[in-house]
Amino acid sequence: MQAPTIHEIPERSGAAFRLARGEILTVIDPRGEQVADLLAFAADDLDEVISSGRTLDYAETIYLTTGHKLYSNRSQPMLEIVADDVGRHDFLLTPCSYDTFHHFYPTLPPHRGCFGNLAAALEPYGVMPDRIPTAFNCFMNVPIDAETGKLRVLPPISKAGDQIVFRAAMDLVIGLTACSAPDSNGGTFKPIHYAIGPNPRLD
Amino acid sequence: MQAPTIHEIPERSGAAFRLARGEILTVIDPRGEQVADLLAFAADDLDEVISSGRTLDYAETIYLTTGHKLYSNRSQPMLEIVADDVGRHDFLLTPCSYDTFHHFYPTLPPHRGCFGNLAAALEPYGVMPDRIPTAFNCFMNVPIDAETGKLRVLPPISKAGDQIVFRAAMDLVIGLTACSAPDSNGGTFKPIHYAIGPNPRLD
């Protein structure tokens, strides 16, 4: 079995691509401590979109890992997590944007962030910016204080080469980034790798 | 100052109404332990909609209360919480629906839930069901285990007469329910009251 092509998403950028039902998507953190925001839209009807609220409701946890499904706003499974080296990802926070840069990093040059990168990458597929919901933020480390509810954005616990692997439950348009926000990525910006096709980890 | 009219949302139903910029919306739990799902859309452009992900990002907490703003998908404040008797509300989970009833209560008669009630109430305002995002669930009590991320849906801690009060930061279309899911409401279904207009609590 030939290993699938590895695609690189350069630092602080994004990509979009089709993923057919049954196909395997592997998202790799090649250097460690790098977040990748992931979005999914039903290829046949872009009004069906990944839903953090449906997913957290069904999973009964905020920390999703192997065996969990990511649901659409219509309560349909879109992706299943079939392998996961890390076990700590975020599904609470929206992609960083010009506005979040202004808010959190007023002294840094603003950046269009994952939101702008996703909007640009998804535009050729017909996805409008207002349709971008809370992303599944691979490798993003957002612990919660159970007492106060306070959340923190800490460096990812992913190490170089760590993977999370998804199987598509329907034909999808995927958006994926190498995240642009300093705090989310331990202060440095690195690429993200992905591959579509069989993953030897699953054999 | 005359007290504003109190409107009743009967048990397991929903309502929609306009709320002008600057107006005060008071949501009351008249009997205690009853959840009210709240949605907000910009009246001038329904593509601008309340966003849990933006709001939690800016608030840096999952438990919103007095002083917190509820943001739109465009990073604009839609509502500010200006008073709150309870201090425990949920902004993680989507409105209950036929599908969630099938999932969580397979032996109970299915109900269209807050999702169906919101869709019906908002339809005359031009809001399509696919545009219904994660609601701000007034009085809903969803504690998180910080270690595992596991969430539980417990009875609200609201007591009879408790209120949460919002000020609109833009002209809005609001959707509001008396929630229909057994677990969210301590096993019984009760009405929700609301009022639009000055709240003596704020004087």
Q: Select from A57, A101, A157 the residue whose CB has the most chain B CBs within 10 Å, as the one to mutate to test that interface.
A: A57
Compute the distance between CA of residue B138 and CA of residue A178 in angstroms, rounded to an integer: 35
Query: Which residues in chain B touch residue A145, judged by CB atoms under 8 angstroms apart?
Result: 146
Q: How far is B192 from chain A (nearest CA, A)?
A: 23
* Residue contact A146–B145, C-beta within 8 A: yes
Residue A130 lies in a domain: yes
Residue B13 has pLDDT above 70, yes or no: yes
Q: Can you give the pLDDT at residue B3? A: 80
Query: Which residues in chain A touch residue B53, judged by CB atoms under 8 angstroms apart?
Result: 52, 92-94, 133-135
Q: Where are the alpha helices (DSSP H) in chain A?
A: 52-59, 98-104, 113-122
Residue A187 lies in a domain: yes
Q: What is the mean pLDDT of chain B?
A: 96
Q: Can you give the pLDDT at residue B201? A: 84
SS (H, E, C) chain B: CCCCCCEEECCCCEEEEEECCCCEEEEEECCECCCEEEEEEECCEEEEEECHHHHHHHHCECCCCCCCEEEECCCCEEEEEEEECCCCCECCCCCCCHHHHHHHCCCCCCCCHHHHHHHHHHHHHCCCHHHCCCCEEECCECCECCCCCEECCECCCCECCEEEEEEECCCEEEEEECCCCCHHHCCCCCCEEEEECCCHHHC
Here the tokens at position B18 are 């306009």
Q: How far is B175 from chain A (nearest CA, A)?
A: 17
Percent of chain B clearing pLDDT 90 (strictly above): 93
* Residue contact A146–B151, C-beta within 8 A: no
Q: Can you give the pLDDT at residue B1? A: 61
Q: Which of B85, B44, B78, B38 is nearest to B58 (CA)?
A: B78
Facing A53 at nearest CB: one of B48, B54, B92: B92
User: How many domains does chain A fold into?
Assistant: 1
Q: Can you give the pLDDT at residue A60? A: 98
The residue range of the domain holding B22 is 10-202
Q: What is chain B's alpha carbon radius of gyration, rounded to the nearest angstrom?
A: 16
* Residue contact A134–B52, C-beta within 8 A: yes
Per DSSP, which regions of chain A are E strands?
A: 7-9, 14-19, 24-29, 36-42, 45-49, 69-71, 77-84, 136-138, 162-168, 172-177, 192-196
Our measurement of the distance from residue B8's CA atom to the centroid of its chain's CA atoms, rounded to an integer in Å, reads: 15
Compute the distance between CA of residue B159 and CA of residue B28 in angstroms, rounded to an integer: 10
Q: How far is B139 from chain A (nearest CA, A)?
A: 15
Q: Can you give the pLDDT at residue B175? A: 98
Residue B3 lies in a domain: no
Residue A2 lies in a domain: no
Cβ pair A53, B93 in contact under 8 A: yes
Percent of chain B clearing pLDDT 70 (strictly above): 100
Q: Can you give the pLDDT at residue B110? A: 86
Residue B5 lies in a domain: no
Quick one: DSSP state of residue A61?
A: B
Which residue do the tokens 């057919």 mark?
A: A20
Query: Which residues in chain A touch residue B103, judged by CB atoms under 8 angstroms apart?
Result: 58, 75
In 3-state terms, chain A is what percent helix, strand and coil (to 5)? 20, 35, 45
Residue A79 lies in a domain: yes
Greater pLDDT, A108 or B15? B15
Which residue do the tokens 């995002």 mark?
A: B133
* Residue contact B94–A51, C-beta within 8 A: yes
Residues 33-62 of B with CB under 8 A from A: 47-49, 51-54, 56-58, 60-62
Residues 141-160 of B with CB under 8 A from A: 143-146, 148-152
Burial class (CB in 10 A: 0-12, 13-18, 19+), B108: exposed
Residue B2 lies in a domain: no
Residues A47-87: tens digit of each pLDDT: 999 999 999 999 999 999 999 999 999 999 999 999 999 99
- Cβ of residue A118 closer than 8 Å to a chain B Cβ: no
Q: Can you give the pLDDT at residue B56? A: 98
Query: Which residues in chain B touch residue A143, judged by CB atoms under 8 angstroms apart?
Result: 146
Residue B113 lies in a domain: yes
Q: Sort residue A102 into left (φ over 0), alpha (ψ -120 to 50) or beta.
A: alpha
Compute the distance between CA of residue B187 and CA of residue B35 in angstroms, rounded to an integer: 11
Here the tokens at position A34 are 């790098």
Query: Which residues in chain A touch residue B58, judged by CB atoms under 8 angstroms apart?
Result: 100, 103
**Span B59-65, mean pLDDT?**
98
**Residue ranges of chain A whose pLDDT lies below 70:** 1
Greater pLDDT, B200 or B147? B147
Residue B7 amino acid letter: H
Q: Can you give the pLDDT at residue A1? A: 61
Residue B2 has pLDDT above 80, yes or no: no
Q: State the count of interchain CB pairs (< 8 A) between A and B.
A: 112
* Residue contact A133–B53, C-beta within 8 A: yes
Residues B120-154: tens digit of each pLDDT: 999 999 999 999 999 999 999 999 999 999 999 99
Compute the distance between CA of residue B46 and CA of residue A18 in angstroms, rounded to an integer: 28
* Residue contact B100–A148, C-beta within 8 A: no
Intra-chain end-to-end CA distance of chain A, in Å: 11
Q: Which of B72, B38, B17 is nearest to B197 (CA)?
A: B17
Compute the distance between CA of residue A165 and CA of residue A27 in angstroms, rounded to an integer: 6
Residues B153-192: tens digit of each pLDDT: 999 999 999 999 999 999 999 999 999 999 999 999 999 9
